[in-house]
Structure 1
Amino acid sequence: MKKAISFVLCIYCLTFQLASAQENNAALVPLPSLDDFTKGEDGWSFGLGFGIEYETAYEGSDEFGLELQPAGAVQWRSGDNIFYFAGEAFGWRGLQGEKWLLEALLGFEEGREEGDSDDGNLDGLGEQDEGFELVLQARRSFTDDWRYWLVSRVVTGGDGNLGLFGIGRRFGDQTDGTGHEINLVAVFHDSEYANRGFGINAEQAQASGLAATTLSGGLRSIGVDYSFRHYINDNWQLYGEALFEYYSSDVQDSPIARSDYETEVGIGLIYIF
């Protein structure tokens, strides 16, 4: 948690030190968590860059590491709709009226491998299959300028369902998608999704030496996430994010959850063509 707070403070300092060339063109929705490279214009847009993330090795891990990640997307805008391809995800987001933002994407889930733990904490648990997940999201703003909103998200695939519900706030008056944003959320999962991440069946228990564990559905965690976006000049964009998720007591009781929380901090650069 201290790392996430320090990261936020550093980003705020960096915001005032950089020479900003803020775009006046309006983004589809002026939220820093949603990349929009179109600069308010219909047609194709393209952003390419990289980010560095400091995060837990897997869900429930007490091991941390740095990882270099590609960043950016290919986007096509038509009025109040953006279709995009970003890494391993295809998606659409659309503005309905002035206060509803709907989004749907199909993404690739890498799964979990025993080798994700350098300390051998996953030995005997086997490999989890890779697959695709469908993500549906809706945000409903309380104001015309998207200062406050409600957010909901559903993630579904071949291994259960996860739901997220929360509230958010945007800081700054920019309409180009830059500034700061924070969300407070509660996350729920069904039993199938819960046991994929934190359950241990009889065969895994025998192979790993860990106690057999079966979880029921319900509250998974409460969390807070922060997003930052800033134009350095007409083409270069700086972004940052921080996430802190505190697990429910049911998840904490799983032998896989060697920590009571999960956290992630990232920063990156994107060049907009």
Structure 2
Amino acid sequence: MKKFTALLLPIAIYAFLAPTAVAQEKTALVPLPSLDDFTKGEDGWALGLGLGVEYESAYEGSDEFGFEVDPAGALQWRTGDNIFYFAGEALGWRGLRDDIWLFEATVGFDEGREEADSDDGYLNGLGDSDEGAEFVLQARRAFNADWRYWLDGRVIASEDGNIGIFGVGRRFGEQNDGTGGELALVAVYHDSDRANKDFGINAAQAAASGYNQTYLDSGIRSIGLHYNYRQYINENWLVFVEGLYEHYSSDVQDSPIARSDYEAELGVGFIYLFF
């Protein structure tokens, strides 16, 4: 699945682990494996760099899969309950408020789609869609300060349309350093502009490709599961695993571009922490 590389800004730390009677200082802004935090609870600069290998759909709707190597990590600056970061093509901020609210704003880029993304030629005649800027706003609300369960809402806005992502998640493990596992159930909504950018076929594309002209209304895009796992090997090395499965709605499945009724992704990688 194409990743909107949008990600990340302020957030902070210092809360108490609710299930235990002893207060413990958090070493991550929030103890969720889905959120990079290389600061180890300290103000100032932090840098983590690494590589990840993903086995994923060639493009959204594809039934072709392949391996891709991507850089991982970010440069972060923490001040109190805020983290500012630069991660590849994304520049953002995260902030923790009242121990149970996490807000994030990010400017990033959508990778777009090229006809060559399909080795079997299923995109021939559809043309290339250019990379474009995206603005991401996110809010997460924990049920209590230990972030065992949480709700998530995210809006991804661009000139090509908008996506809304709504989820509920649970983290596993007792660590407060952002390691352990996390599983989320998500629903993805797209407006008609974004739906037709990814799965629609206009008159010119229909004539060039031989596919039927297709127009999609706004609505549910997919329902899925997201899994994240992180673990420190030692003081400086971090290993991560990420998995994603999303089942498309019937409207998306009816598009000739969607040659599969789902998209999936599995990735593993390592990050080295310099500070």
TM-score in terms of structure 1 length: 0.91
* 2:124 alignment partner in structure 1: 123
Q: List gaps (5 residues or longer) in structure 1.
A: 1-23
Which whole-Å CA distance do the structure 2 matches of 1:269 and 1:238 have between them?
5
What is the 5 A alignment of 1:74-153?
74-153=75-154
Larger relative helix fraction: 1
Amino acid at match of 1:243: L
* 1:231 alignment partner in structure 2: 232
Which whole-Å CA distance do the structure 2 matches of 1:118 and 1:153 have between them?
33
* 2:21 alignment partner in structure 1: none
Amino acid at match of 2:234: N
Say yes or no: does 1:219 pair with 2:213.
Answer: no
What secondary structure does 2:204 align onto? Answer: helix
Which whole-Å CA distance do the structure 2 matches of 1:80 and 1:29 have between them?
10
What is the 5 A alignment of 1:1-273?
26-273=27-274
Cα offset, 1:144, TM superposition: 1.2
Report % sequence identity.
69
Which whole-Å CA distance do the structure 2 matches of 1:185 and 1:127 have between them?
29
Amino acid at match of 1:114: E
Which whole-Å CA distance do the structure 2 matches of 1:75 and 1:185 have between them?
27
CA distances 1:4-54 after superposition (whole Å, capped 9, x unpaired):
xxxxxxxxxxxxxxxxxxxx8610000000010000000000001000000
Amino acid at match of 1:153: R
Cα offset, 1:122, TM superposition: 0.2
TM-score in terms of structure 2 length: 0.90
Cα offset, 1:143, TM superposition: 1.4
Cα offset, 1:120, TM superposition: 0.2
Which whole-Å CA distance do the structure 2 matches of 1:191 and 1:66 have between them?
31
Amino acid at match of 1:159: D
What secondary structure does 2:136 align onto? Answer: strand
The list of structure 1 runs, each at least 4 consecutive aligned residues, that deviate by more than 6 angstroms after superposition, is none
Cα offset, 1:229, TM superposition: 0.3
Q: List gaps (5 residues or longer) in structure 2.
A: 1-24
Amino acid at match of 1:97: D
CA distances 1:203-239 after superposition (whole Å, capped 9, x unpaired):
0000000000000001111000000000000000000
Amino acid at match of 1:227: N
Which whole-Å CA distance do the structure 2 matches of 1:69 and 1:130 have between them?
17
Which whole-Å CA distance do the structure 2 matches of 1:253 and 1:61 have between them?
13
What secondary structure does 2:224 align onto? Answer: strand
Aligned positions, number:
250
